[in-house]
Chain A
Amino acid sequence: MGLLSDPNRRRALISLLTRLNAPICALCYFAGVCWFMGLAFEPFTLRTYMSENAMGSTMVEERFPSGERALATGKEFAAHKKKVGGMPVDWLVKTMQARGLEVFTQSFSRTLPFPDENKERYMVKGTNVYGILRAPRAPRTEALVLSAPCSPGDNNNQAVGLLLGLAHYFRSQVFWAKDIIFLVNEHDLIGMQAWLESYHHTNTTGMDWSPLQGRGGSIQAALSLELSSDVITSLDIILEGLNGQLPNLDLANLFYAFCQKIGVLCTIQGRLQRNDWDSVSGYSHAVQTMMLMVMKQASGRPWGDHGLFLRYHIEAATIKGINSFRQYKTDVTTVGRLLEGMFRKLNNLLERLHQSYFFYLMPSLSHFVSIGYYMPAFGLLAVILLLRALDLWVQLVSPPAIAADGVGDNAQQSSPGVLSVLTPLVISHLTGAALYILPTRFQEIAVEHFPVSETEAVVLTVIAVYTAGLALPHNTHRLLSGEGTEQGWRVLKLVAVLYLAVLLGCTALINFSLGFILALTLVPVAAFVTPHMPKTLSAVVLVILSPAFTLLFSVFFFQELEEMPVSFQDGWLLYLSVISQGILDHYLYGSLVYPLIALMVYPCWLLFWNILFWK
């Protein structure tokens, strides 16, 4: 506590921090970015290992034999799907019953707030079919889920076939201690949302669904299967769920362990891992894999059907079969064996998966970076905000003299009115609220008066409100309290910087990637904006570092990482569709990214915009 009570040492420290503020801030920013880039360097990461004893030590033998039959079932399913033109409910019920499951159906309907142009749906009606294999060896208090989406077109027929094949095979085995639920969901995430809400008796998004007639125990883990070809070259695991939530790392470890055992190529983010970590290309490969995970996590959307399970405290992942041009192919029997093995290990669980990490990034499937390693990268960025706040505070408290000790303070300067700070704060938040509310409310009016579709109307309103916000607030503070003073902007900046620090801190705790990406662009703005800078140049810099442009850059960057670079024209269209998808994710599944940006981050950025144009 010496530092807090000894005035001499405090004074020395504070004068050091204020004198060297700018260099320290620059250094912190640089160090933060370097730290983050270093995370993908293999010697700095940890090898994954199985933490859960119940899954680690016991050996299981996988004997699933009937891959060919599963494919035949898949073909039959495809034929019925084509005939009905959607989910072949009757056929599925009959087939599942024939395999000895308790079969139930659930119908649901949902009208989207505006049409989804990517998936071409607006008024969605569908049916989920699920069969429960009751556990013969234990009280039926726990359950596992295997799901496969019934997708339009020729997709995923093999997944449903394999699911039915596994159901048939599991039925004949006696060692199941947990109910196993085989779920075929229609309209991918919407169906999944309906089923999960109904299973847990909640309704968070105002969807209509019929209540479930049959239930298993509390769900411990879930796997979602996507398989669109008869043979595959590799299996990909998708972990990122709603709001950037990740399943327990043990689930990924389990997948990796079985892939190794059975000899299937396994990938994460669609990328194989390489062994040449010490070469430049090997390192850049790891960085790209990690960046893909960061971008996907930051988007806050579920990247597979498993994404919604995580909200209910259920560890879940999507396993996706990929068929590329490699020589070495794996057949469905092997995939079946892999799933069988994973389910048997999950069946052995004595409690929920909790031993391993929940906060991690993966530069490859065999290595991970835990929260203790990646948080300093964010911390170094956040520290800049605190240093700036300290600097401003010192300037405010004692314009000419030292501030650490009470002696030597002059009498209170004419403090700026509360109004001059409150007005920009309120107006920015009102603009943010408009950005959140207006797009969906005014789509009908916009469609009537302009030649655009509903989706375009929503996206264009978002962009319009966003741009209008730039013009609006920077003159309004003069309306109420006359001339802004030198002290005034300092107080406003102090408030804004602290607000941003708390906001980014909370965001990074819930969704590290989002917090880090926002910090990367917003922290420089927050650190260096003052009214005494060349206006045009700083305005351009500020706009380029605003949340909307961050999203635009992210879209292009993501396409680069996916190795599907786009032209500017296509990129712009993609950008528009990403905005509409973000809004839809919020209304359909309760993703928090859109409200966070609209109600908090954007107003916070507007405060800095205000400071730049302070008069």
Chain B
Amino acid sequence: MVAPLSLLLIVAVTIRAALYRSSLAELIAERVEVVSPITAWKRVIEGLALLDLGVSPYSGDVFHETPLIIYLFHFLVDYAEITFMLADVITAVALYMAVKDFNKQVFRKQKFSVEAERYPADCLELIRSPTEMFYIPLKVAMFYLLNPFTILSCVAKSTCGLNNAVLSLFILTTIKGNVLLSAIFLCLATYQSIYPLTLCAPAMLYLMQHQYVPVNPRRAAFWWFLVQYLFMYLGSLFVIVCLSFFLLGSWDFLPSVYGFILSVPDLTPNIGLFWYFFAEMFEHFRLFFLCVFQINVFFYTVPLCIKLKDQPVFLMFMQLAVISIFKSYPTVGDTALYLAFLPVWSHLHRFLRNIFLVSCVLLACSALFPVLWHLWIYAGSANSNFYYAITLLFNVAQILLVSDYFYAFLRREHHLTAGLYLKKKDGSEATLVLK
């Protein structure tokens, strides 16, 4: 499996290197779908210039990345292209290894269940075979590396690629069962963009299962593990924030990075839901709706945790999707990360209901973004409503996609316990309805 993976990496790097050399790179770096005010490379360059002049990079309202990023590029600015390609490669390899490990565990668990004859007899066709699972890690790496969204994001040098690398390392270390590293990478991801905070829950659930700690609030072991993990997580967060303070010598970055993410002052159009809504809103409602929109991102953690407490990796996928849909400055790079997980759930395909519709809509929206942008900004004949309509459609499609996978997952679990061919009481064939 190493040979196809390295071939894939070479192909991916070649595509990116070729695009860096072409005239398209400049065009892509300007696209609002690909870069956000936080992740734009242009702004990082500006921050670096300010830093070199001995001014705080956060003076003026241009730079909003974290201090660690700017110090990273302080040394690596000449090798930026390599850094971004490397970040993509790291993400892909980490996802590859993580999914490989995860599949092994899934298979082992399934084997135990089959041996214990826990599955109903007619569920044999739901049981996953090793041949089917063999190529999944490679497909995951391929879905990430060859996804046009990732390629665009990398060519635009959007720092989103680095965030994705950190997140994928977090997923890898979690699945490997390394508590300390998991906490550290999660803290790095949180430090970058706050929202990965919600991944705390799936990580803890997974690690508890991994260490055979019962997920039961009445047991002391549960609380002891929780405290341990949170201590590591918050401790490293504290260290990293203090480190940033000592690097910069001021607390400027807190309002400029986290305040910027939470209070959404920059309403440049993007693929998210915030900009249009807050541009149209009366000023005195702003705070209220800001809270509503931000809580929306975090809120789904609770019900999802309760429903999916036995499947933390699926929970993680759901959380990543929810974050990338509802965060304040989403880009296509965020979408690419959770789309990479789709091959992992390829066994759910038979239960998916709207996949055709959703993929058509996602495809059409991706093509319509630049067209309507052109009509709005350059031709002046359309207006912001056209663009927002597509944004809305894009997000509805994403939500449908995620909820479809959620439904399919739950349904498969249900069939695994209740049997595949459900009968009604009168003996006719039953159908499952989600209401």
Residues of A within 8 A of B (CB): 4-8, 10, 245-246, 310-311, 313, 352, 354, 358-359, 386, 389-390, 393, 404-407, 409, 411, 498, 501-502, 505-506, 509-510
Contact = CB atoms under 8 A, between A and B. Distances in A.
Contacts of B432: 7
A406 B347 CA distance: 12
26 contacts: A4-B354, A4-B357, A5-B353, A5-B435, A7-B353, A7-B433, A10-B353, A245-B379, A245-B381, A311-B379, A352-B380, A354-B380, A358-B379, A358-B381, A390-B356, A405-B353, A406-B411, A407-B429, A505-B368, A506-B367, A506-B371, A509-B368, A509-B375, A510-B371, A510-B374, A510-B375
Contacts of B78: none
Given A5-B434, A509-B371, A313 B125 contact: no
Contacts of A359: 381
Contact of B431 (A246, A405, A409, A509): A405
B387 to A, nearest CB: 12
Contacts of A310: 379
Given A406-B350, A502-B363, A411 B125 contact: yes
Nearest to A359: B381
B422 to A, nearest CB: 8
Contact of B364 (A311, A505, A510): A505
Contact of B356 (A393, A405, A411): A393
Interface string B339-370: 00000000000111110110010011001100
A436 to B, nearest CB: 16
Given A406-B350, A506-B371, A4 B356 contact: no
Nearest to B420: A407
Nearest to A7: B431
Contacts of B431: 7-8, 405, 407
Contacts of B363: 498, 502
B92 interface: no
B238 interface: no
Main secondary structure of the interface of B (DSSP, over half): helix
Contacts of A6: 433
A352 to B, nearest CB: 8
A407 to B, nearest CB: 7
A542 B400 CA distance: 38
B353 A4 contact: yes
A313 B378 CA distance: 7
B375 A407 contact: no
Nearest to B432: A7
B276 to A, nearest CB: 19
Interface centre among A245, A501, A509 (most CB of B within 10 A): A509
A407 B421 contact: yes
Contacts of A246: 381
Nearest to A357: B381
Interface in B401-435: 408, 411, 420-421, 429, 431-435
Contacts of A354: 380
Interface string B119-136: 000000100000000000
A265 to B, nearest CB: 30
B156 interface: no
Given A5-B434, A7-B432, 20 more contacts: A4-B357, A4-B400, A6-B433, A7-B353, A8-B431, A10-B353, A245-B379, A246-B381, A311-B379, A352-B380, A358-B380, A358-B382, A390-B356, A405-B353, A406-B351, A407-B421, A407-B429, A509-B371, A509-B375, A510-B379
Nearest to A411: B125
Contacts of B356: 389-390, 393
Contacts of A510: 371, 374-375, 379
A358 B354 CA distance: 36
Contacts of A411: 125
A615 B293 CA distance: 55
Contacts of B382: 358, 509
A409 B350 contact: yes
A439 B352 CA distance: 48
B166 interface: no
Interface centre among A352, A393, A405, A406 (most CB of B within 10 A): A406
A506 B375 CA distance: 11
B332 interface: no
Closest 5 CB pairs of A and B: A358-B381, A406-B350, A406-B351, A313-B380, A506-B371
A509 B386 CA distance: 11
Contacts of B374: 510
Given A510-B374, A510-B375, A5 B351 contact: no
A177 B293 CA distance: 46
Nearest to A6: B433
Contacts of B434: 5
Nearest to A245: B379
Interface in B91-121: none
A605 B380 CA distance: 31
Nearest to A354: B380
Nearest to B350: A406
A317 B368 CA distance: 29
A302 B275 CA distance: 36
Contacts of B360: 386, 389, 498
A5 B433 contact: yes
B375 A502 contact: no
A362 to B, nearest CB: 16
Contacts of A386: 360
B372 interface: yes
Interface centre among A5, A6, A246 (most CB of B within 10 A): A5
Contacts of B408: 406
Contacts of A390: 356
B243 to A, nearest CB: 45
Nearest to A503: B367
A501 B365 CA distance: 12
A6 B431 CA distance: 9
B427 to A, nearest CB: 16
A406 B380 contact: no
A502 B360 CA distance: 9
A379 to B, nearest CB: 13
Contacts of B420: 407
Contacts of B381: 245-246, 358-359
A589 B433 CA distance: 57
A505 B386 CA distance: 14
A509 B369 CA distance: 12
A389 B434 CA distance: 26
Contacts of B368: 505-506, 509
Nearest to B431: A7
A411 B380 CA distance: 51
Contacts of B411: 406
Nearest to A5: B434
A501 B379 CA distance: 23
A352 B363 CA distance: 35
Contacts of B435: 5
A71 B352 CA distance: 76
A311 B378 CA distance: 7
A310 B380 CA distance: 9
Contacts of B125: 411
Nearest to B404: A4
Nearest to A247: B381
A493 B69 CA distance: 46
Nearest to A392: B356
Given A5-B435, A386-B360, A390-B356, A509 B400 contact: no
A409 B363 CA distance: 26
A408 to B, nearest CB: 9
Nearest to A507: B371
Contacts of B433: 5-7
Interface string B158-182: 0000000000000000000000000
Contacts of A393: 356
A411 B126 CA distance: 10
B385 to A, nearest CB: 13
B380 A502 contact: no
A409 B353 CA distance: 12
Nearest to B429: A407
